[in-house]
Structure 1
């Protein structure tokens, strides 16, 4: 019996396809992968996909959806057909991400320093100084290597023409890198034949790069810094990732109760062998819960006195306090200007055009075109609050109009981008599903970008929302080595 073809009945539906490209821009680089998929056949692909899902359960690779009271943990759905980036595509993304991270760090140094960009009107003052993530306590603090964002996730999409655009900056505690590495390990175990003679850039050295970068930003004079990862604990949605990253770096995973600040204003970790000083903390706790002496006084997750130690330069925090200013979707709209202002360069990766509803003309345009736009609350993450106008009912749009009118500064709107699609195994058939990409950049003295990143896939037919909390899944992301075969 002949094998049933994997891609024979696949229809990309008029979208740019990450596997096939488009009529104007075909992708010959993916031909080896397509041949391997046909050699495997659809029946074998389905069997191995089921085995991969079982392995995810067995390994405990999970996340939590807080809005679902009946479900504590669930696996992140994983699609076994990889998303492929050519070496040329990756070179553009890598340069664009490095440029963006450099501008973001310069912007934060300025925001908590001379505030020259605000004085020059590059960004409206109120967007920064009245932002809930702006932390005045950081003003005047000199950070090692002037690095505020040590770990950054830049959300990138591809449009109909095959061009990449930045959708969002994640500068606080970007999550998802554990899935990048574990997805690759899973593919190596389940589909080793799919990678035969295809040169793919590795991702397994992320922990080494992260640890080196964190060591580079240790307090002055510390030669062999002790790094620790600070987690809110077991019930956090990304706890699996915290365990994973601590293991990959070979550093202790601690909670607030494991740390204390002594009379010398240094941070110590309680161990069975006695107190041990901690020099660098990769914190996966939001600013407001870090130190009850300075922020939320009821916080049980943080470390009393931590900010006192930080402000005296006796411990380094990654990411720095106050980086959430750059997470704001309204500030995001000014990134091309900030890149030009600080680096005197044009943006390598353009923004999706954005209307800031806090501005009179943009508000008027948004309210008149809600049915054509994607409207987002500026402070939300995880896809919450996003309204896709062309796919919303009249009642939903009327309710949205009331919310935007009541709080214009709390919203932005963007045109609906025809996101690229990727072949995805759905209930035994291969169908197109929209995808985005989150490359992860690690910065100490300089910036390194993990090849590929997290490809998130909207598993619901026609959906543009790829977030795991909204029913999205992930794929392994292959960055092809220049020259093709390994």
Structure 2
């Protein structure tokens, strides 16, 4: 039996492909007609091919469990793509560039005079309670005054079709390798669709990343020495670290492979002797980066690395201290930050957000915990949050205590009806909720991936898209509005 779109029901959610029962969106008509010609068995065969490709290509992610420790699992991938029309994407792209430009200005200001605080736009008490503000970075001016060279901003769409920024990831955002590999798998599974559709490419990301890193090299050599610094093979994103290093033609190193010498330069141990390093794309959190400056117990970092960076002998991407803007409470002020630094209104809105640090907003949150999503300031991956409508009375009572104890560290948002995309489930196709993580590179120029990593909640009704909690992913196609 072929896919029947007449039976596909998006309910009250905004579906990215199907406007309503039996009515695909204009840009999805060709795809839905194509899929309607395929039986469930044929699609299952294609799905099996994708699973085999993922296994052969070694695309994995790591899950941590108390019972079994770390486990490598094959990347969960759904073969039905998510599509976004180019006219809409053009606005999103401009909005992401605007947002990252303002956030880099904001970070630089916080470490150089804090004018935004003196002008009363950003609360001083919010900075005092920041877990990611690094006093060690005060007065430092990184190359081009850019702190967050690689940003992954998560986007969601609500039931009305409005696109929102859900959060900004400015420390060590991950997922771009899966975006690239998803496209490779799709080309194997549905090669004919890439002949029919004009799909904007994503495979120039690694060359753009290389150019971004080259632009911040302290030595203006034609071929600066760039390395990717990983915590090691047990990190959940190790596949990505190795993938990006391989694609850029760079060395993948651990902290023990690097040393800071008396000249404050960073050197890499090689079989041919010490080799100076110009740029480090670090995938290690600030506190583990340099045991001399931060956590003295860290075995992952490089002693003296912060000193070398502050003296301009090596460039770090992202810069230490960039995480001060990677805070869900700071996120709530981003529209004001954009207005302050750029004198513009945000092109992509924030999700409406209640800041528990303010008594009136906190009182509303405490009275409506059964309706809201409550998030801690500095957690990621969907951990530490409470989805009010699905929480027990005990869980809501616990979060009420946490909010009262530390109001600065919590925000709350309405429970959004996230958009859906047709997804293969068993022997059929059903709607599943999705979000989107595009990646923005900031160097001499700003570059936004055409699309990004679409994460999908594979469990029916679930809003949790993280792979560590049962989510998967899809290829994201930016296409012309009418094809």
TM-score, length-scaled by structure 1:
0.96
Q: Which residue does the alignment assign to 2:370?
A: 371
Q: 2:283 corresponds to which residue?
A: 284
* Number of residue pairs the alignment of both structures matches: 481
| Structure 1 residues 271 and 220: CA distance shift in structure 2, 3 A | closer
1:6 positional shift: 4.9
**Residue in 1 that maps onto 2:47:** 49
The residue that corresponds to 1:260 in the other structure is 259
CA distance in 2, matches of 1:91, 1:206: 18
1:444 corresponding residue in structure 2: 443
TM superposition score normalised by structure 2:
0.97
Deviation at 1:119, TM superposition (A): 1.0
Superposed, which structure 2 residues align to 1:317-466 within 5 Å? 317-466=316-465
Instruction: Please list the CA deviations of residues 34-73 of structure 1 after superposition, one character each: whole Å capped at 9, or x if unmatched.
Output: 1121223322111211221233233221111223542511
Q: Give SS of 1:167's match.
A: strand
Distance in 2 (CA, whole Å) between partners of 1:405 and 1:74 is 39
The answer to whether the 8 A contact 1:6-1:42 is kept is: no
CA RMSD across the alignment: 1.5
> Which residue does the alignment assign to 2:87?
88
**What secondary structure sits across from 1:351 in the alignment?**
coil
Structure 2: distance between partners of 1:78 and 1:8: 25
Task: Show the counterpart of 2:136.
Answer: 137
How far, CA to CA, are the matches of 1:430 and 1:274 in structure 2?
A: 57
Deviation at 1:22, TM superposition (A): 5.5
Residue 239 of structure 2: aligned partner: 240
Cα distance, 1:222 vs structure 2: 4.2
1:135-193: CA deviation from partner (whole Å, max 9, x where unpaired): 01111111111111110000000111211100000000000000100000000011112
For the 8 Å contact 2:3–2:429, the answer to whether it is kept is no
Deviations 1:373-431 (A, max 9, x none): 11111111000012111122222222222222222222110011111100011122211
Of 404-413 and 89-98, the range deviating more from structure 2: 404-413
**Contact 2:26–2:481 (CA under 8 A) maintained in structure 1:** no
Q: 2:185 aligned with 1:190, yes or no?
A: no
For structure 2, list consecutive stretches of 5 or more residues without a partner in the other structure: none
Residue 28 of structure 2 corresponds to 30
1:66 and 2:64 equivalent?
Answer: yes
CA distance in 2, matches of 1:236, 1:30: 38
User: Measured at CA, do residues 339 and 21 of structure 1 come closer, stay the same or move farther in structure 2, by a change above 3 Å?
Assistant: farther
SS of equivalent to 1:148: coil
Q: Bigger CA drift: 71-80 or 276-285?
A: 71-80
After TM superposition, give the deviation of residue 483 of structure 1 in Å: 6.8
Deviation digits for residues 68-114 of structure 1 (CA, Å, limit 9, x no counterpart): 54251112311110000100111111011100010010001101112
SS in structure 2 of the partner of residue 370 of structure 1: coil
State whether residues 278 and 313 of structure 2, in contact with CA within 8 Å, keep that contact through their aligned partners in structure 1: yes
CA contact (8 A) 1:160 1:419 kept: yes
CA distance in 2 between counterparts of 1:226 and 1:22 reads 53
Q: How much has 1:297 moved relative to structure 2?
A: 0.4
Shift of the alpha carbon at 1:196?
3.2
Unaligned runs of 5+ in 1: none
Which deviates more, 73-82 or 231-240?
A: 73-82
Whole-Å Cα distance in 2 between the matches of residues 272 and 7 of structure 1?
Answer: 60
What CA deviation, in whole Å up to 9, does each residue of 1:202-232 have, x standing for no partner? Answer: 1111110000011011115444311100000
SS, match of residue 403 in structure 2: helix
Give matches, 1:94-113, under 5 Å. Answer: 94-113=93-112
2:151 maps to: 152
- Aligned partners of 2:7 and 2:480: how far apart in 1? 29
Q: What SS is found at the alignment partner of 1:73?
A: strand
Q: Measure how far apart 1:460 and its partner are.
A: 1.1
